[in-house]
Chain A
Amino acid sequence: MISLSTYLLTIIVTSMIMNLALALYGIFFKPHLTKKIIALTILGDTANTFAIIVGYRRWISPHSPSRPPVLVDYANINQEDLVNFVNTAVDPLPQALVLTAIVIGLAVTLFLVFLALQIYRLYGTLDVREIKRLRG
């Protein structure tokens, strides 16, 4: 007998896997380059969401919720507060990685948009089937 929390987390992870599959389908089987770029942004966001889910921590009791990994008021903190913080805060490492990945994804998307614009200026179309026919 699984708990309701585990069941709901399974629904969330399954939805993310379906999003990943749909984005991969869009990248590989959609012929239009703009649609491929949109699917690539969805793929990157879904991968980031997996990292966030990995870093999540379940509540240790119904009255002590997990909290963001931000330590406020650290000037006058004692050891008990610090132990409480470490026991309830979610993992900050995936969040730091995701922060970097979002910015890098933006740069990659801008570069791909520039490439698509140049392809349109050279070939007059963004459909990869026609670009393949026009090549050479």
Chain B
Amino acid sequence: MLTYEEIMLLITALASVFSVIAVYYAIIEKNLVRAVVFSAIQSTIYAFIYYMFMAPDIVLVYIPVAVGLYPAVILILISKTEKVEKQ
């Protein structure tokens, strides 16, 4: 029977494995808009990890910055420059 701490760590471990997948797709993706979306998914998973590691004040700052402002700024850059990374 799992204890509550082990259940908490199990959920966090699953989230961190999903974050590796999101980072991998964010790095190899050629379409930059999709790469930004994968980066935002990774940021959401990180915010969840921070919450599980007892840092709710970090979550309150990290969600608007990393899920809102980073993708917005990079999407503005993409809209003014190139949308696809050439091989």
A9 touches B27 (CB 8 A): no
**Neighbour of A95 across the interface among B2, B12, B57, CB < 8 A:** B57
A99 touches B57 (CB 8 A): yes
Interface of B is mostly: helix
Closest 9 A/B residue pairs (Cβ): A15-B16, A8-B9, A32-B85, A26-B27, A11-B13, A8-B13, A90-B54, A120-B81, A59-B5
B58 touches A11 (CB 8 A): no
- The CA of A110 and the CA of B82, in the complex, are separated in Å by 18
Known: A35-B35, A42-B42. A22 touches B23 (CB 8 A): yes
B74 touches A34 (CB 8 A): yes
Q: Which residues of B contact A9 (CB under 8 A)?
A: 9, 13
* Range class of the B interface residue count: 35 or more
Chain A residues packing against B (C-beta within 8 Å): 4-5, 8-9, 11-12, 15-16, 18-19, 22-23, 25-26, 30-32, 34-35, 37-39, 41-42, 45, 48-49, 52-53, 55-59, 62, 65-70, 90, 95, 98-99, 102-103, 105-106, 109-110, 113, 116-117, 120, 125-127
Chain B residues packing against A (C-beta within 8 Å): 2-6, 9-10, 12-13, 16-17, 19-20, 23-24, 26-27, 32, 35-36, 39, 42-43, 46, 49-50, 53-58, 61-62, 65-66, 69-70, 73-74, 76-78, 80-82, 85-86
- The CA of A35 and the CA of B39, in the complex, are separated in Å by 11
A49 touches B49 (CB 8 A): yes
A-B contact pairs, 24 of them (CB 8 A): A8-B9, A8-B13, A11-B13, A12-B16, A15-B17, A16-B16, A19-B23, A22-B24, A23-B27, A34-B81, A38-B74, A52-B49, A52-B53, A53-B53, A59-B5, A65-B5, A70-B56, A95-B57, A102-B61, A103-B61, A113-B76, A117-B80, A120-B80, A125-B82
